[in-house]
Amino acid sequence: MGTLTVNQNKLQKRLRRLAGEAVADFNMIEDGDKVMVCLSGGKDSYTMLDVLMHLQKVAPIKFEIVAVNMDQKQPGFPEHVLPAYLKELGIEYHIVEKDTYSVVKELVPEGKTTCSLCSRLRRGTLYTFADEIGATKMALGHHRDDIVETFFLNMFFNGTLKAMPPKLRADDGRNVVIRPLAYCNEKDIQAYSDFKQFPIIPCNLCGSQENLQRQVVKEMLQDWERKTPGRTESIFRSLQNVVPSQLADRNLFDFTSLKIDETAASRFVNVVNL
């Protein structure tokens, strides 16, 4: 790539710093970990791999990186792109072949979004493979904007207050998922991907669908950001500053036994009549 411009250097340092902070804040990677980096061929996962390879060099701990791509047998998928790129990087990698494309096309009616089923099938396959190769962590390329979008999607359509945590243990306890780009915004990742010229592989299964609710939420957030810069970052910070007593989840806070504290000091003060 040659010498970086001043802005490119700042961008690279910012992404590395934010990823490093997220990894440290959530103790994502520990000494001796084997990190399975899940690559989709998109800008986010390429950036994540790039950043993790840098952290591997400078971190005070030792950990392995194994790149894994899942070939879902989509028509026209350029199978040669990722192997060629990863060979050039000189890192260990695996291509997991699983025809989830046919399953999704068979089960999802024409015109309906395929993301939910596709992601479940992909996740299950990757969880199993991580277990097979002895990976202690699974790294996914979700960034700050993904997390905020997911928060609103769950609130609007599922009636739940949840998003994508930077670190998550799977329900069966066999996998720990980490999101090193949790503090990074999509705009920076796109700019970094552009100047690094990553060999992007477009998704013609779900990425091109026009009726995605996630896209609607993304546009809503972008509109808010244009009108009030910094709003997305503020929303993300709110996910780290939850006050259970100010919500209404009876399983999270004991509202039933809530009563006055008889030992609390009185608010009354002596009033002097003038």
The binding site comprises 115, 118, 206
Paired tokens of 91: 């890192």
Residues in binding site for [4Fe-4S] cluster? 115, 118, 206
DSSP string across the chain: --SPPHHHHHHHHHHHHHHHHHHHHTT---TT-EEEEEE-SSHHHHHHHHHHHHHHHHSSS--EEEEEEEE---TT--TTHHHHHHHHHT--EEEEE--HHHHHHHHSPTTS--HHHHHHHHHHHHHHHHHHTT-SEEE----HHHHHHHHHHIIIII-------SEEE-TTSS-EEE-TTTT--HHHHHHHHHHHT------SSSTT-S--HHHHHHHHHHHHHHHSTTHHHHHHHHTTS--GGGS--TTTS--TT----TTSPP--------
Return all residues near 68 (Cβ < 8 A) that are at least 6 apart: 36, 37, 38, 39, 93, 94, 95, 96, 126, 129, 130
- Residue bearing tokens 């243990």: 169
